[in-house]
Amino acid sequence: MTTYVLTAIGDDRPGLVAALAAAVDEHGGSWVDSQLALLAGKFAGIVQVELPDEHAPSFLDALPSLSEQVGLDVVASAGAGGDDEATGRSLQLHLLGQDRTGMVREVTTALTSQGATIDGLRSWTREAPEGGGMLFEAEAEVRLAGGADEDGIRDALEQIAAELMVDLELDSLE
């Protein structure tokens, strides 16, 4: 079996996921994992698939036709193989505060400085109650490097939260 990670983007319309799933199925593949989203009228997705080795070349040759057929641009990258399982503790991060530039950069820099990896991140903005401007909210699943200190992550994030004037919560997923 050959593993591929597919990235797909196109103008949103019905049938995009069905067309991609059909291409995988028609080549004897399995849809293993995915994250799909709609942002600003664009459909975007990342999908892990496995295909029999003998069908992988024809599958790759078929991907450009999805752009012509349904307007979905798909890029395939060979999977790295190996173990995808987290090696350190997993934490759930939640951030809420007044929207301003640089928030994601500062938080992710603090996480990186402590050797943490972001396994998932979702962020959005929304109107604050009673005309209080825009709020920025984010949720992330963070994995600590083996042997990393959870207190170090907390300290780094609490310093950022004070500087950004945001509410920041960090909870263990275990």
CATH 3.20.80.10 is the classification of domain 2-78: no
Average pLDDT across the chain, whole number: 90
The pLDDT assigned to 85 comes to 46
Q: How do 30-39 and 90-98 pair as beta strands? A: unpaired
Q: Which CATH number fits domain 90-172: 3.40.50.300, 3.30.450.20, 3.40.228.10, 3.30.70.260?
A: 3.30.70.260
As annotated, the residues of the chain forming the CATH 3.30.70.260 domain(s) are: 2-78, 90-172
Estimate the share of the chain in helix, then strand, then coil, as percent rounded to the nearest 5: 35, 40, 25
Helix (H, G, I), strand (E, B) or coil at 151: helix
Q: How confident is the model at residue 150 (pLDDT cuts 50, 70, 90)?
A: confident
Lowest mean pLDDT among 18-22, 37-41, 87-91, 145-149: 145-149
Q: Write out pLDDT tens, residues 52-87.
A: 999 999 999 999 999 999 999 999 999 875 544 446
Listed in order, strand segments (DSSP E) in the chain are: 2-11, 30-39, 42-51, 73-78, 90-98, 117-127, 134-143, 166-172
The pLDDT assigned to 8 comes to 97
Q: Are 95 and 136 in contact (CB under 8 A)?
A: yes
The pLDDT assigned to 81 comes to 56
Q: Are 144 and 150 in contact (CB under 8 A)?
A: yes
Residue type at 38 in one-letter notation: L
The rounded distance, in Å, linking the Cα atoms of 54 and 2 is: 9
Q: Are 41 and 52 in contact (CB under 8 A)?
A: no
